[in-house]
Amino acid sequence: MRTVRDAVFDILRQHELTTIFANPGSTEVPLLAGLPDDLRFVLALHEGSVVGMATGWAIGREAPALALLHSVAGLGNAVSAIATARENRVPLVIVVGQQDRRHLALEPFLAGRLAGLAGDYPVRTDQPVRPQDVPGAVARAVHEATTSRGPALVLVPMDDWQAPFDGETVAAPARLLRPAAVADADLVPLVELLAGARSPAIVSGAGVGPGWFALVALAERLGCPVYQESFGGRAGFPQDHPQYGGVLPGGRSGLRERLRPHDVVLAVGAPVFRQYSYEPGALVEPGTTIALVTDDPAVAHRSPADLAYLAAPEAVCARLADLLPPPGRGGVWARVSGHEPYSGGPLRPTDVLRELAARLPHDVALIEEAPSARPDLHAMVPARTSFGFISAANGGLGFGVPAAVGLRMAQPGRPVVAVVGDGSALYGVQALWSAAHYRVGALFVVLANGRYAVMDGLADKHGGGKGPWPPFDEVDMGALARSLGCPAQRIETYAGLTGALDEVLPTLAARETPLLLDVVVTVDP
């Protein structure tokens, strides 16, 4: 007899979702026991790491990834990672186990009120009415996650997997195409706006995606600077390009000053404009026209733009580059300089980043989760491919370590480096076990200052006195890593840092075991 489980496995094979990231519980046993050999199971030791690793896998493969969570406890533990996936616009199919359908009305042990637990962060949450609706719900989740670029949840009672499926219909298309062409006639208002601009600029964001060629062609056609959105989850433009203008400030006064020379600003794959601390005033100076190209409906609907296109950024940029006249302008834009070289004493984060930047291979995937060092990383470590800067777009911690593991699993031949603070690493440290167990050769560079340095800085800026949180300099990240099976080295000197990087980075692409560098850094500038 063909079962619901059999039908779902066929759908997973059809959509190449044959790797399952999970930390399973009892409600998932009927699905997983006796798993077919062509389906790969990847264990993580915490549900945040499950979804974080699946997120990295999806980024690396540029396709949906599959995660399996256990009822309330699993979904609850994973909500922050689900929120990160939504903000980073990463397609995930998440199957959540539920208690046996036959006595759910009695609210048995491990039964969960799952539908709203992740809030509005899933792009879809489906509770199939019948067991026979589960395969169609999983197939639809694949389509919803891909179209909306976010996590789609399917809640499945544990007894559904063995229900019969003979002669049933899967309520979802086997194949769904998404043409992205843009009509030239629809682009006329934007062509006219850009062609008539005295000093245009582009703001690029994570929504540009991995194909930078069209945006580069447009920028070179316009002869204008390209700024990176602030607090973006991914680089949107090659940061070693001569027209790259740096990262936009995260406050309105700085944003207005940076964009003051430009009469037209085109945001591509980025919101208008992401900020951090509130500052009064407009986003741009009066007389500056803002245009937007995005394929995210929520961004299109909320952005205060004068002209917005809800369309594929790559398709729009490619056509604009052909339709616009040659530029009558040119120039060289100031690049952010580095910091003073190491001159002795305790290591600073800038010392680590400078030495890392000097040795990173061109095709490195760099995952960042070091909030206090992020501005220096932007200034000193240019992203030269779309994988050259990847971060959590919503600012929640716990992304960096598991995402690096999942990405390297998806692209085993690509060198992968995660630069994380010790405070950040503690939120996803369980993923180091998965890295060690599955022989994932990523490099984790932990900037260990024993405190939440960014919070200390915010407290100083606020002016209300010292924050009440203590340091945690007793934490030994290297010891934690080794306890999880991941090799680690403690770095306290400049010679130790350069020696470790010289040894590891040249062979990182071929490395089969992870390594954590626990680099002790000062909090002083």
Shared domain check, 512 and 415: yes
Predicted confidence at residue 279, as pLDDT, reads 85
Phi, psi of 390 (to 5 degrees): -135, 130
Residue 381 within any structural domain of the chain? yes
**pLDDT score recorded for residue 256:** 93
Q: b/e for 101-140, b at 16 or more Cβ within 10 A? A: beeeeeeeebbbebeebbeebbbbbbebeebbbbbbbbbb
3-state secondary structure labels for all residues of 56-97: HHHHHHCCCEEEEEEHHHHHHHHHHHHHHHHHCCCCEEEEEE
Residue 9 sits in which domain range? 4-162
Q: Are residues 513 and 370 in the same domain?
A: yes
Who's near 416: CB < 8 A, 6+ residues apart?
364, 365, 367, 404, 407, 408, 441, 442, 443, 508
Does residue 473 sit in the same domain as residue 378? Answer: yes
Which of 323, 340, 369 is where one domain is finished? 323
φ, ψ (nearest 5 deg) of residue 68: -125, 125
Which positions ≥6 away from 221 have C-beta within 8 Å? Answer: 320, 321, 324, 326, 327
Classify residue 170: in a domain, yes or no.
Answer: no
Within 190-333, strands assigned E span: 200-204, 226-228, 244-247, 264-268, 289-294, 307-310
Q: Which of 127, 162, 197 is the last residue before a domain boundary?
A: 162
282 and 396 share one domain = no
Q: What is the pLDDT along the chain (525 residues), one digit of tens a residue?
A: 899 999 999 999 999 999 999 999 999 999 999 999 999 999 999 999 999 999 999 999 999 999 999 999 999 999 999 999 999 999 999 999 999 999 988 888 888 899 999 999 999 999 999 999 999 999 999 999 999 999 999 999 999 999 999 888 788 888 888 888 889 999 999 999 999 999 999 999 998 987 789 999 999 999 999 999 998 899 999 999 999 999 999 899 999 999 999 999 999 999 998 888 888 889 999 999 999 999 999 899 999 999 999 999 999 999 999 999 877 655 444 444 456 777 677 889 999 999 999 999 999 999 999 988 899 999 999 999 989 999 998 888 999 999 999 999 999 999 999 999 999 999 999 999 999 999 999 999 999 988 777 777 777 776 777 778 787 889 899 999 999 999 999 999 999 999 999 999 999 999 999 999 999 998 765
Which residues share a beta bridge with 165? none
Compute the distance between CA of residue 459 and CA of residue 187 in angstroms, rounded to an integer.
47
Same domain flag for 155 and 220: no
Cβ atoms within 10 Å of 185's Cβ, excluding its own: 6
Residue from 274, 273, 386, 267 nearest 316 by CA: 267
Structural domain total, the chain: 3
Find the CATH number of the domain harbouring 152.
3.40.50.970
Q: Is 308 helix (H, G, I), strand (E, B) or coil?
A: strand
Do residues 149 and 231 share a domain?
Answer: no
Report if residue 62 sits inside a domain.
Answer: yes
- We report the CATH number of the domain holding residue 248 as 3.40.50.1220
Nearest partner of 32 among 17, 14, 20, judged by Cα: 20
Per-residue pLDDT at 167:
82
- For residue 329, tell me if it sits in a domain: no
In a domain, 175, yes or no: no
- Which SS3 state, helix, strand or coil, does residue 52 take? helix
> Alpha-carbon distance 306 to 292, whole Å?
8
Q: Which residues of 10-34 are buried (b: 16+ CB within 10 A; e: fewer)?
A: ebbeebebebbbbbbbebbebbbee
> Based on the domain organization, do 199 and 274 belong to the same domain?
yes
Angstrom CA distances, 435 to 13, 200, 219, 236, 249, stand at 25, 45, 39, 28, 35
Which CA distances in Å does 370 have to 287, 404, 445, 484? 37, 14, 10, 22
378 belongs to a structural domain: yes
- Segments of 143-255 assigned E as strands: 151-157, 200-204, 226-228, 244-247
**Together in a domain, 128 and 252:** no
User: What's the whole-model pTM score?
Assistant: 0.92
* 154 and 195, same domain (yes or no): no
Q: Specify whether the CB–CB gap between 239 and 384 falls below 8 A.
A: yes
Answer for the pair 81, 122: CB distance below 8 angstroms, yes or no.
no
What is the length of the chain?
Answer: 525
Q: Is 136 part of any domain? A: yes
Instruction: Scan for tokens 């070289």, then name that residue.
Output: 341
pLDDT in the model for residue 332: 44
Q: How far is CA 371 from the centre of its chain?
A: 15
| Structure tokens belonging to residue 327 | 């530029």
pLDDT (0 to 100) of residue 334? 46
pLDDT of residue 180: 81
List the structure tokens of 381.
């470590």
Is 525 a member of any domain? no
80 and 221 belong to one structural domain:
no
Shared-domain flag, residues 379 and 257? no
Q: Which of 215, 212, 238, 232 has its CA nearest to residue 299?
A: 232
Q: Residue ranges of the alpha helices (H) in 395-507? A: 400-410, 422-425, 431-437, 453-462, 477-483, 494-504
Are both 482 and 377 inside the same structural domain?
Answer: yes
